[in-house]
Amino acid sequence: MNIPDLAKRAEAFLFSEGGSLTLRKLEQLLGVKTPQLREILAELRIRREGSGLALVETATEASLVVTSEESSAVRSAFERELEKEIGDAGLEVLSIVLYRGPSTRAQIDYIRGVNTSSTMRTLLARGLLMRTGNPEDGREYLYYPTVELLAHLGVRTAEELPDYQTVRTELAAFESANTPQDINEARSDAE
């Protein structure tokens, strides 16, 4: 592949990560060595000029970020969003993650019966949920309650929540009562 095509691919990897990637990981993903990666990132930096995104690099990482010219508009939009109530959907998602434990979005969608992507974004932005890579499937994330959420609820661990074991047992019974095919169908519907 040529440098402009590799720059497009690097941009896609950085965008999909939603945060920074180490330069070493980016080299692996692109199948290039350090000198070629520098050319690719230089091309990407030029491509991003005049847009709302910029490439930021350190000695070890690279990330796509909102430009300083657009940051106040983005910050204002987030602040308006954060002023809103999380609503019933947010409470349901938080309850699932608190009582079920680490969950994928597909599992949460299945239990709720609807797509939760916008609700998940809101809860992540508010610092109520965190996500990590799923060690069982690299294509998805696991969502966990944050320390801030537990502190806000006045508990040290999720096990201290009211009726924890009862609700956890009911959730497990609900999921086991359905076939894996039902869960896979719900996952494909949610995607």
Q: List the one residue out of 56, 72, 76 whose CA is nearest residue 64.
A: 56
- Position 155 pLDDT exceeds 80: yes
The residue segments making up the domain with residue 121 are: 84-190
pLDDT for position 17: 80
On whether both 89 and 172 belong to a single domain, the answer is yes
On whether both 90 and 181 belong to a single domain, the answer is yes
Task: Write the burial class of residue 77 (CB in 10 Å: 0-12 exposed, 13-18 middle, 19+ buried).
Answer: exposed
Say if 42 falls within a structural domain: yes
Q: What is the DSSP letter of 155?
A: -
Residue 99 CB contacts under 8 Å (≥ 6 apart), including other chains: 158, 161, 164, 167, 168, 171
Question: What's the mean per-residue pLDDT of the chain?
Answer: 86
Q: For residue 81, what pLDDT band results from cuts at 50, 70 and 90?
A: low
Q: How far apart are CA 168 and CA 173, in angstroms?
A: 9
Q: Is 0.75 surpassed by the pTM of this model?
A: no
For residues 62 and 41, the answer to whether their CB atoms sit within 8 Å is: yes
On whether both 97 and 135 belong to a single domain, the answer is yes
On whether both 29 and 88 belong to a single domain, the answer is no
pLDDT for position 181: 53
On whether both 100 and 164 belong to a single domain, the answer is yes
- Position 78 pLDDT exceeds 70: no
**The tokens 């945060």 sit on which residue?**
19
Say if 53 falls within a structural domain: yes
Which pLDDT tens digit goes with each residue over 121-140? 889 888 899 998 888 887 88
Strand partners, 63: 56
On whether both 19 and 48 belong to a single domain, the answer is yes
When divided into structural domains, the chain yields a total of: 2
Say if 79 falls within a structural domain: no
pLDDT for position 67: 86
On whether both 52 and 89 belong to a single domain, the answer is no
On whether both 56 and 120 belong to a single domain, the answer is no
Q: For residue 76, what pLDDT band results from cuts at 50, 70 and 90?
A: confident
Concatenated DSSP letters of 40-94: HHHHHHHHHTTSSEEEEE-SSEEEEEE-HHHHHHHHHHHHHHHHS--HHHHHHHH
Domain CATH number, residue 28: 1.10.10.10
On whether both 143 and 95 belong to a single domain, the answer is yes
pLDDT cut 70: percent of the chain above it: 89
Q: How far apart are CA 37 and CA 104, in angstroms?
A: 33
Q: List the one residue out of 187, 100, 111 whose CA is nearest residue 145.
A: 100
On whether both 134 and 172 belong to a single domain, the answer is yes
Q: For residue 187, what pLDDT band results from cuts at 50, 70 and 90?
A: very low
Q: How much is the average pLDDT of 146-159?
A: 86
Say if 99 falls within a structural domain: yes
On whether both 45 and 100 belong to a single domain, the answer is no
Say if 150 falls within a structural domain: yes
State which of 42, 69, 96 marks the end of a domain: 69
